[in-house]
């Protein structure tokens, strides 16, 4: 039997981000319109697309959702362009707590999903990078998905890419696309960014989209290289370092094919795994 073609044209916007919120929003707004002219139905922005990335900036740039200039711009841009818009992330404030939050807007401009980064970016690589989001941010505790014409899409943010458990939970919920706004750095980016995405894609037989800010020259320097990986683990779109839109058609029948041809989800040995007790130090 011939499988039905299911395609979503997607665009990743690797935008330049500076210190001025209004300029960042205006730049993102223009790039969203540009992505629409390329035929994109699903458009995604980077992590911290409205502010520099750093713990000292979170409270200054934080907004409540959906009442704030960033939510307003995203809602209007989704509606004006008649697209599904994954609004990267920006710092959210609610009840005196700060979160790193991703919002999703439908073509009517309605907020249809909100995801708060679940695994906070706390690492210490001497001579490389030290970052402690938990100094300022609270972690989210919920998964978030949305539906685009019958395709279920799951959300994560940057460091979440390292946690296979989250991706697997999404897959078990029926997700076919995982989207991670992200801002890897010049230490871990070259080693891990592409590889982690390919790993998540292969393990879960899903498309993985990761969207970075363009590489800047001061403060936290993002790695760039926004990427689209198909369910076979093949990189089918990748940006360089600068501002760029990556525009690709996702053929969802690839999920059906790989899941049928390499049926790992029905071959798991939970009968064995569940009997083995382990402790993690």
Which residues are catalytically annotated?
Answer: 47, 117, 158
Cβ neighbors of 273 (< 8 A, separation 6 or more) are none
Taking the C-alpha atoms of residue 20 and residue 30, their distance in angstroms, rounded to an integer, is 16
Residue nearer to ligand AKG on the CB measure, 189 or 252: 189
Check residue 98 for interaction with ligand AKG (CB under 6 A).
Answer: no
Other beta carbons within 10 Å of 30: 13
The interface with ligand AKG within residues 207-246 (CB under 6 A) comprises: none
Nearest distance from C-beta of residue 188 to ligand AKG, angstroms: 3
Check residue 162 for interaction with ligand AKG (CB under 6 A).
Answer: yes
Check residue 89 for interaction with ligand AKG (CB under 6 A).
Answer: no
Residue nearer to ligand AKG on the CB measure, 33 or 130: 130
State the distance between the two ends of the chain, measured CA to CA, in whole angstroms: 50
Check residue 57 for interaction with ligand AKG (CB under 6 A).
Answer: no
Check residue 58 for interaction with ligand AKG (CB under 6 A).
Answer: no
Helix (H/G/I), strand (E/B), else coil: 19: coil
Contact characters 106-145, ligand AKG, x per CB under 6 A: ---------------x------------------------
Nearest distance from C-beta of residue 131 to ligand AKG, angstroms: 7
Which sign, positive or negative, has the C-alpha torsion 160, 164, 170, 174?
Answer: positive
Check residue 9 for interaction with ligand AKG (CB under 6 A).
Answer: no
Distances (CA, A) of 20 to 24, 32, 62, 70: 6, 18, 13, 12
Q: Which stretch binds ligand AKG (CB under 6 A): 21-29, 104-112, 182-190, 250-258?
A: 182-190
Sequential DSSP letters for 61-130: H-B-SSSSHHHHHHHHHHHHHT-EEE---EEEEETTEEEEEEEEE-TTS-EEEEEE-SS--EEEETTTEE
Q: Which stretch binds ligand AKG (CB under 6 A): 54-62, 103-111, 154-162, 271-279?
A: 154-162
Other beta carbons within 10 Å of 86: 29
For binding to ligand AKG (CB under 6 A), which residues are involved?
47, 121, 158-159, 162, 183-185, 188, 192
């Amino acid at each position: 039997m011939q499988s039905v073609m299911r395609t979503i044209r997607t665009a990743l916007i690797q935008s330049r981000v500076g210190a001025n919120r209004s300029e960042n929003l205006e730049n993102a707004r223009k790039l969203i319109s540009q992505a629409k002219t390329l035929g994109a139905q699903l458009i995604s922005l980077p992590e911290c697309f409205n502010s520099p990335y750093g713990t000292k900036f979170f409270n200054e740039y934080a907004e409540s959702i959906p009442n704030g200039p960033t939510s307003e711009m995203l809602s209007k841009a989704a509606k004006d362009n008649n697209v599904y818009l994954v609004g990267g992330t920006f710092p959210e404030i609610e009840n005196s707590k700060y979160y790193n939050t991703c919002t999703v807007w439908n073509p009517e401009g309605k907020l249809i999903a909100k995801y708060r980064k679940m695994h906070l970016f706390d690492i210490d690589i001497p001579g490389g990078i030290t970052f402690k989001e938990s100094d300022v941010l609270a972690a989210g505790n919920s998964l978030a998905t949305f539906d685009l014409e019958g395709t279920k899409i799951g959300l994560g943010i940057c460091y979440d890419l390292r946690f296979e458990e989250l991706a697997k939970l999404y897959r078990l919920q029926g997700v076919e696309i995982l989207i991670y706004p992200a801002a890897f750095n010049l230490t871990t980016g070259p080693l891990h960014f592409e590889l982690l995405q390919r790993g998540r894609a292969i393990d879960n037989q899903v498309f993985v989209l990761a969207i970075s800010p363009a590489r800047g020259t001061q403060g936290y320097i993002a790695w760039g290289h926004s990427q689209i990986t198909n369910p076979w683990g093949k990189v089918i779109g990748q940006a360089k370092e600068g501002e760029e839109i990556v525009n690709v058609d996702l053929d969802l029948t690839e999920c059906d094919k790989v899941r049928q041809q390499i049926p790992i989800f029905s071959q798991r040995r939970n009968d064995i795994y569940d009997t083995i007790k382990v402790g993690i130090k």
